[in-house]
Structure 1
């Protein structure tokens, strides 16, 4: 079983690399980067502090801060006061940011349709369920105290 898991991990890394490259191309077509796309997407659901957005994305806060500053400079996002913490403003999308995110998402959706045309939805759901279970197991393992 451990050999099968090792092969699955290798496949996940390969898929992640291919999807990341494709995502860069999708974002670039709208004048953005994948990092900006990801941050636009994360704060589109609700305003977040940079630290919270970084945790959701699983990346360093400093990198998210740099991208957030770029988005604000370009008028795609704004910082607003945080009633819960004066020193950590909330990042929110501007109307231009929402429009940009919609264009990127629409472009990606069209590509996803092509990629999945010959893959049954049930297969995609099963793969996703397996990955979510594996992620849960890894998180549980990480939460265990080390000896």
Structure 2
């Protein structure tokens, strides 16, 4: 068959990657439905979460790195969040141009409201999945991410 991989491991990984792409799309759509009443999208919610989870104030480039996302895309979303009053910018003592992104009170309230909507839904979703399967999937996806991030593929 033309285009066939031929190696069982590679075929299994290809199936996993395709499932991961589809799952990612379904997850983003699910997230969009959850937070749309708050005027958020999954992308905006994800960035608010990265700000909340960071151990210190960070510039956009660091947020993008932590998310494994494109800096320009994160910058665009952060700018939108700032226009909506969910984040603000503070001077960065270590870099003149790379301002620090800070959650506002409105941003924290919005994030907490999103989590209040999310928590019962994710608990319901988790009920049908054995914890050991979720942990195994987490290990595989983490290993895959590390391998892809350190890959020298051209």
TM-score with structure 1 setting the length:
0.89
Change (3 A) 1:136 1:62: closer
Change (3 A) 1:59 1:130: closer
Partner of 2:3: none
Q: Distance in 1 between matches of 2:84 and 2:93?
A: 25
**Which runs of no fewer than 5 residues in structure 1 stay unpaired?**
none
Which has the higher mean CA deviation after the structures are superposed, 126-135 or 61-70? 61-70
1:77 aligns with 2:87: yes
Residue aligned with 1:40, SS? helix
**Which runs of no fewer than 5 residues in structure 2 stay unpaired?**
1-8
Q: Distance in 2 between matches of 1:79 and 1:15?
A: 34
Partner of 1:43: 51
Partner of 2:11: 3
Partner of 2:4: none
Deviations 1:20-64 (A, max 9, x none): 110111121211112211111111123211122222223332222
Partner of 1:136: 146
Q: 2:120 aligns with which of 97, 110, 120?
A: 110
TM-score with structure 2 setting the length:
0.85
Deviations 1:98-133 (A, max 9, x none): 111111122122111111112111111111111111
TM-align CA RMSD: 1.6
Instruction: Count residues in correspondence.
Output: 144
Residue aligned with 2:98, SS? coil
Q: Distance in 2 between matches of 1:60 and 1:4?
A: 28
